[in-house]
Amino acid sequence: MINYLIRLAICAVVVYLSPRFLSGIHLAQDSYTTAFIVALVMSLLNTFLKPILSFFSFPITVFTLGLFALVINVIIVYICAKLVDGFSVDGFLHPLIFSFVLSIVNSIVSSFQE
């Protein structure tokens, strides 16, 4: 449980810093609380919704040689933006980069905790 909270806090820091580097990511009022909520919602969406989306889009993912998985990541970010007040995204490339950076940070943090 403590590992999950550490990972969540570090991801919240990444969410908090993302608008400074990605112009298509917007965090209202520069709030760390909103960033933490975004990290929590992204975690829940990746745990529960992403496997369902991946299952139903498997034929498309195979046909596109795995590239459709990137679209699923962007969809997850857009759903998070709809669910969390004070967080919004523009375009396709910025949410893609955002989800990619979050995945890398999550992997790095997870590798240190094991």
Going from N- to C-terminal start, the domains of the chain cover 2-108
Q: Determine the Cα–Cα distance for residues 58 and 29; give it in Å rounded to an integer.
A: 39
Alpha-carbon 93 to chain mean position: 13
Q: Is the pLDDT of residue 25 over 70?
A: yes
Q: Is 66 left (phi over 0), alpha (psi -120 to 50) or beta?
A: left
- The string of pLDDT tens digits covering residues 46-104 is 999 999 999 999 999 999 999 999 999 999 999 999 999 999 999 999 999 999 999 99
Length of the chain in terms of residues written? 114
How many other CB atoms sit within 10 Å of the CB of residue 46? 17
Token pair listed for 24: 């298509």
**Coil/strand/helix, residue 26:** strand
Please report the pLDDT score of residue 101 as a whole number: 94
Q: Is the per-residue pLDDT at 31 higher than 90? A: no
pLDDT of residue 114: 62
Helices (H), 22-67: 32-44, 50-56, 58-63
Comparing C-alpha atoms, which of 49, 56, 50, 92 is closest to residue 74? 92
Instruction: State yes or no: pLDDT of 111 exceeds 90.
Output: no
